[in-house]
Amino acid sequence: MQDIAEHLTAVHLKRCSRGKRCLYEGSTPPGGFPNSWNGASYCTSELAIMKNNEIHTWDRGYDDDGNQVWGQKEGPYEFKPAPTSSFNDMFSPLNFPPPPSMERRIEGSFVLQE
């Protein structure tokens, strides 16, 4: 259970101040959470939900000396919503019909015997 618990973190979100680009933002508590991946001793996470529907996340791991050992060095990952046109594109995976059923009714005068 310890291995699983080590990778669980909590980010507490709060509403952003007026005038900021975000709706909600939050981070792990000061000092982060214990983490041993790739030489880290602790990790931190920051999360922002933006007014333009983007989500920004920045996860980093640090060793005992405070050196960053994993994660993005220069700013968060930015997840942007798919453009509306992608939902209407005939080749979009969102628009493919379900695969046809493998069961087919056989029309005709067949008699099946076991």
| Distance from C-alpha of 112 to C-alpha of 47, rounded to nearest angstrom | 63
> Residue ranges of the domains in the chain?
2-83
Contacts of 43 (CB under 8 A, 6+ apart): 9, 28, 32, 33, 35, 37, 59, 60, 61, 62, 71
On the question of pLDDT at 1 being above 50, the answer is: no
pLDDT tens digits for 22-69?
Answer: 999 999 988 899 998 899 999 999 999 999 999 999 999 999 999 999
| Distance from C-alpha of 26 to C-alpha of 12, rounded to nearest angstrom | 5
pTM of the model: 0.64
Strand partners of residue 26: 13, 47
Report the pLDDT averaged over residues 92-113: 59
24 contacts 49 by C-beta, under 8 angstroms: yes
pLDDT at residue 11, rounded to an integer: 84
